Amino acid sequence: MGAGSLVASAISIVLIIVVAYTIIGGTLVTAEVVAAAHKDLVQVQESRLHTSITIIDHSVDTSASTFYLLVENTGNEPILKFDQMVVFTATEKTTPIYYPYNTAGGAGTWSWVSIQPDAIHPHELDPDERINMSIHYEGAQPDWAQVTTSNGVSDSAYLR
């Protein structure tokens, strides 16, 4: 009878150690995941902090239902993801209209015409470079436009 309680106690101690090891291991993995997520969040926020754009000029070609925006990267971060940038336009009597990026252009989209100067990192909008954007609108000529980068930084301007 004494040996049975000794074996039961030994098994209980082993089970307590296994459960404690599992709980500690899970806690460490969770802490590592949280730390990695926090690091990624800080990097995204830092990138956003250093991103800035300014619409410096615009022109309209009413015969082709197209307007052009000249946008300068006034921040310290290069802008790389044109496919994630969007343009919004609005007239006095309409809600904003969304224009996604399309390399070929076309109605209801925007595309880039040129980047000046573009000697370093071609086809990327580096700091102090300017991109000429072509927006093909439908319907009435827009009164207002907003350009938004992939990380949420934006600038807007009245077009009239």
* Distant-in-sequence, close-in-space partners of 52: CB < 8 Å, separation ≥ 6: 73, 74, 75, 153
Is the pLDDT score of 1 beyond 80?
no
Confidence of residue 59 (pLDDT cuts 50, 70, 90): very high
Q: What's the longest Cα–Cα distance across the chain?
A: 101
Is the pLDDT score of 2 beyond 80?
no
Q: Where are the domains of the chain?
A: 1-50, 53-158
Least confident piece of the model among 53-57, 71-75, 100-104 = 100-104
Is the pLDDT score of 60 beyond 80?
yes
Question: How high is the pLDDT of residue 119?
Answer: 86
Fold of 53-158: Immunoglobulin-like (2.60.40)
